[in-house]
Amino acid sequence: MIATHALTKRFGRITAVDAVDLAVGEGDRYGLLGPNGSGKTTLVRMLLGLVYATSGEIEVLGRPMPRRAAEVLPRVGALVEGPGAYRHLSGRANLRHLDAAGPGGSRRGRRARVEAVLDRVGLGGVDERPVRAYSLGMRQRLGLAAALLGGPRLLILDEPTNGLDPQGIHEIRDLLNELNAAGTTILLCSHLLSEVEELCTRVGVMDRGRLVLQADMAEVRAPTGQVEVRSPDADRAVALLDGRVEHRSGDRLLVRAADAAELNARLVGEGLRITEIGARRRSLEEVVLDITGPSADRLDRDTGRAPDRDTGRAPDRDADRDAAQEPQP
């Protein structure tokens, strides 16, 4: 669906996107993660032909962009950096205007098309009030409706749940799942890890312009070979599992073991009380924090404690994180 090769964009001296090889397959729910300012939006704008690449190649729907934009874009729906609308027109009028501006929409079917996408995003009953009177969530829904006009095969959504309440987020997630089941490929850009974790089958992580990770979600969240045990009899468990306990804090133990059920049977067999037990998987958050630097909107004062040249991270923040996550001996 999307393939880029060594895609690079420089704005003056700043390299916003640096040699990115993005690969989104047909039917994927691809989550593009990264801190603010890591180049996600610039990458998306290049995919859509809004920003021109400095070097590298882009293929969307099997055709080179931006050269074949006229063929590609009618089958792509997008929400880029927040919805846009004429504030003095109603949501319906905005959608009608967009529908009329693009190709391939006969005048006769316009009303039906507009009403269909409004229903899809839960704005079917909206009145004729101008967009300036809309709430943030309504505007977001309107932006999604605009992206769905024309029944796209590929949806590129940048922060689609921005400004929505928890119910709204849930609805949108259901909608995206539904569209994906019907064959729409989805590229979701977000800095909300939970959103990507819940929705996506494949994940890419950007950091300072580079795509530092691109993998299937199952692979990212593979078991770590550790089992998390919680037991009021932790002392006895440590004695029993001599050497296999990698970390202990209070009644929580991190045990090196391949199978949680087997470990459970053994501990219970020894008469230990187990409150919780389960294989430990790395959360997406851990993975992402591990491979990305600080967000680009954090600007530390340059007082000799400048970010480490090798990692680009601010040392103090890194230290905090390590203290919180490293298993203590």
Partner 1 sequence: MIATELVKMVRRPRTWVSLALLCGLPAIVAVFLGVTEVAPEPGEGPAFLSAVLTNGALYPAAALAMVLPLFLPVSVAVVGGDSIAGEASAGMLRYLLLRPVGRTRLLVAKLVTLVAYVLLAVVAVVATSYLAGTLMLGDAPAAALEGSDLLTSVSGTGLTRTQLLLRVGATMLYIGACMLGVGAIALFLSTLTDSSLGAALGALAALITSQVLVTLEAAASVQPYLLTRYWLAWVDFFRDPVLWRDIERGLALQGVYVVVFLAAAWANFATRDVTS
Q: Of residues 7, 78, 117, 189, which one binds partner 1 by CB under 8 A?
A: 78
Query: Does residue 327 touch partner 1 according to CB under 8 A?
Result: no
Q: Which stretch binds partner 1 (CB under 8 A): 74-82, 185-193, 223-231, 292-300?
A: 74-82
Minimal distance, residue 128 CB to partner 1, in Å: 13
By CB under 8 A, residue 109 contacts partner 1: no
Size of the site for partner 1 (CB under 8 A): 30
Task: For residue 130, state whether it binds partner 1 (rule: CB under 8 A).
Answer: no
Residue among 146, 193, 234, 260 that touches partner 1 (CB under 8 A): 146
Question: Cα separation of 40 and 151, whole Å?
Answer: 24
Q: Could you tell me the CA-to-CA distances from 81 to 41, 52, 134, 143, 317 in Å, in that order? A: 7, 17, 18, 10, 28
Q: Of 20 and 277, which has the nearer Cβ to partner 1?
A: 20
C-beta of 47: minimal distance to partner 1 in Å? Answer: 11
Among 10, 21, 23, 84, binds partner 1 (CB under 8 A): 84
Q: Which of residues 217-256 bind partner 1 (CB under 8 A)?
A: none
Measured from the CB atom, the residue of 32 and 47 that comes closer to partner 1 is 47
The reply to whether 88 sits near partner 1 by the rule CB under 8 A is yes
User: Does 85 engage in binding with partner 1 (CB under 8 A)?
Assistant: yes
Residue 115, token pair as written in the block: 């009403």
- Identity of the residue, 81 or 286, whose beta carbon is nearer to partner 1 in the bound complex: 81
Residue 89 interacts with partner 1 (CB under 8 A): yes or no: yes
Q: Which of 14, 36, 52, 278 binds partner 1 (CB under 8 A)?
A: 52
Give the footprint of partner 1 on this chain (CB under 8 A).
45, 48-52, 69-70, 73-74, 76, 78, 80-89, 93, 97-98, 100-103, 146
